[in-house]
Amino acid sequence: MQASPVHVSSDDLYLFNTGQLFQAYRTFGAHVTHWEGREGVRFVLWAPGAREVNVVGDFNGWNGWNKVVDMRPAGSTGIWVGFGPGLREGDRYKYEILGADGERRLKSDPFGFRSELRPNTASIVAKLDRYEWSDGEWMGARAGRKPYDRPMLIYEAHLGSWRMDAPEQFRDYGRLAEELVDYVCGMGYTHIEILPIAEHPFDRSWGYQATGYFAATSRYGPPEGLQKLVDNCHRRGIGVLLDWVCGHFCKDDHGLRRFDGSPQYEPADYRMAEKPLWGTLAFDFGKPQVQSFLLSNALFWLDVYHIDGLRVDAVASMIDLNFDKPEEMRTTNLYGGTENVEALQFLRKLNETVFRYYPESLMMAEDSSSYPGVTSPTYLGGLGFNYKWNMGWMNDMLRYMETDPEHRSSRHSLITFSMHYAFSENYVLPLSHDEVVHGKRSLLNKMPGPYPEKFANLRLLYGYWMTHPGKKLLFMGGEFGQFDEWKDYAGLDWDLLRYPLHDSMRKYTERLNAVYAARPALWELDHRPEGFEWIDVNNAPQRMLSFQRNGGEAERPIVTVCNFSRDGYGAYRIGVSSPGTYELVLNSDESDFGGSGAPMPTRVSASEAPMHGKSYSIEVPVPALSIQLWQSEASSRGHEDM
């Protein structure tokens, strides 16, 4: 990123103050440059309420009276500009701000590109244009990829605890670029989603409470290491998504809170500013300069780090003025409603801006609300995301699976209701970190029954998840049956792979991933009703479920048979759409996967025995707590209407 000299153009000043400087990181922050024949660092800061701004660091003994950098206001714009001759990359610095309230504060740079390793909090002058990228082929092909009719299987990872040598001894970005990427490729995932990596002071916030929005956390090494991690993903054919938090920020003194001695980034009304559930502050989404800051930050990760998309955290908390707030903090908007109109406008602007600059990006809303049109275009009144996490499916599915199989018949609708709205948005089906922390137990430990039965239930859950319409996301450790809930302060329990059931679970997940990727019927029509067809949706007494996934005209349908009970059946008849032979694609009860290994035919022939409203049917054995996938050897199109 090439900085301008100490002069800042009037265009940039105007655009920033009107919410339209979408690459503000090229202007603001600390940039190594030349000015009047001298090399040094230019500093640009927005602090409209400040009476005085000084840059302090090792170079002046952290003493604002020793003015190595002469920071001056750029007219009445609220922006301060200065040049430090002789300063260089690697220098530590903060802003000493005499605020509107008369107090002096030391603040990290909101646009700082690198931070000290916590618990230290200074910003560090850094260049981010040194890394030599080798992902040109990926970046060139990315524009032609349409995500909706392609497989998407996301591995969600917290970089600090994926593998750990000892407490707080994290793998660095460079090591993860080899080990994590090798693992994800070997398991057959298409994307990695990384929990937030903007600099944050507290490890156990997992990055969701940030202070340095433009600084990749120093916990895992320098910025070039993260660039290498993304680069290696791309060279291996893996997309990279980043959890991005624009809904709130933490209150630490060196961060954004009362940055210039007044509510600068947060709303002035404490009822709007405070997030009591998390102890954080909301951004003032209606303030143009905050819009420039946040929109630039979104583009920054896509530009400087080649990130392929953003998962926007906590959308429900942004768009509801009273989300988890006590009665005395509740407010209404200008129209008397509880929608945060400014947040809704910001989210539309966010997606419009991202897709203007990076039309191939993935923009995903982590939204637990029922707000309509999250993935509809903004010109139709939608929010403009291209994906939304299906939190309703996740909650219903886990409630059902946690129920003892003997009692599941009364809860049958929990696993069928999602199809009433499955095509109202473009959905991702998340089995994420949020479901395996804070006493919720791991996915494996949620499953009822003795240890082997827990694995059978988990294989069944994953099979149904993989064949249900929607893209997929699984949190790390779920693939091998992590038994303890996620411990953010320690690495995953990789030693479990020494035990047969856990190793078999990993093999099953790898096989399921491969089946998914190789069969377009499981993803080609994910967002269209013709891609899904119930066969038998009403067999609650036996806790059985069967359906068909369809791809394009040339694709062979896949019939899925789920048995959520402890009762097995030696011969179970299922209606199918076409005659001919059906091949067994996957059987979760195989001994290699930890199942019983009961005999199972690899092919069956359909007979002209009507069943489930179909003219043909197949008869197959169905083990207890199992899922099977059968694929016809000829397309069913033309035999019966889909």
Catalytic residue set = 313, 366
Residue 268 CB contacts under 8 Å (≥ 6 apart), including other chains? 262, 284
Structure tokens at 480: 């091998």
Question: Cα(536)–Cα(545) distance, rounded to whole angstroms?
Answer: 6
Question: Cα(369)–Cα(435) distance, rounded to whole angstroms?
Answer: 17
How many other CB atoms are there within 10 angstroms of residue 153's CB atom?
20
449: left (phi over 0), alpha (psi -120 to 50) or beta: left
Spell out the SS3 assignment of 43-103.
EEEECCCCCEEEEEEHHHCCCCCCCCCCCEECCCCCEEEEEEECCCCCCEEEEEEECCCCC
How many other CB atoms are there within 10 angstroms of residue 308's CB atom?
26
Closest by alpha carbon to 535, among 564, 574, 583, 579? 574
Structure tokens at 634: 């000829």
For the stretch 637-640, contacts whose Cβ atoms lie closer than 8 Å and that sit 24 or more positions apart, written own/partner, are: 637/553, 639/577, 639/578, 639/579, 639/615, 640/577, 640/578, 640/614, 640/615
Spell out the SS3 assignment of 247-269.
CCECCCCCCCCCCCCCCCCCCCC
- Residue 20 is which amino acid? Q
Question: Cα(590)–Cα(623) distance, rounded to whole angstroms?
Answer: 10
- Residue 449 is which amino acid? G
Contact 357, 22 (CB under 8 A): yes
Q: What is the b/e burial string over 225-255, where b = at least 16 CB atoms within 10 angstroms of the residue's CB?
A: bbbbbbbbbbbeebbbbbbbbbbbbbbbebb
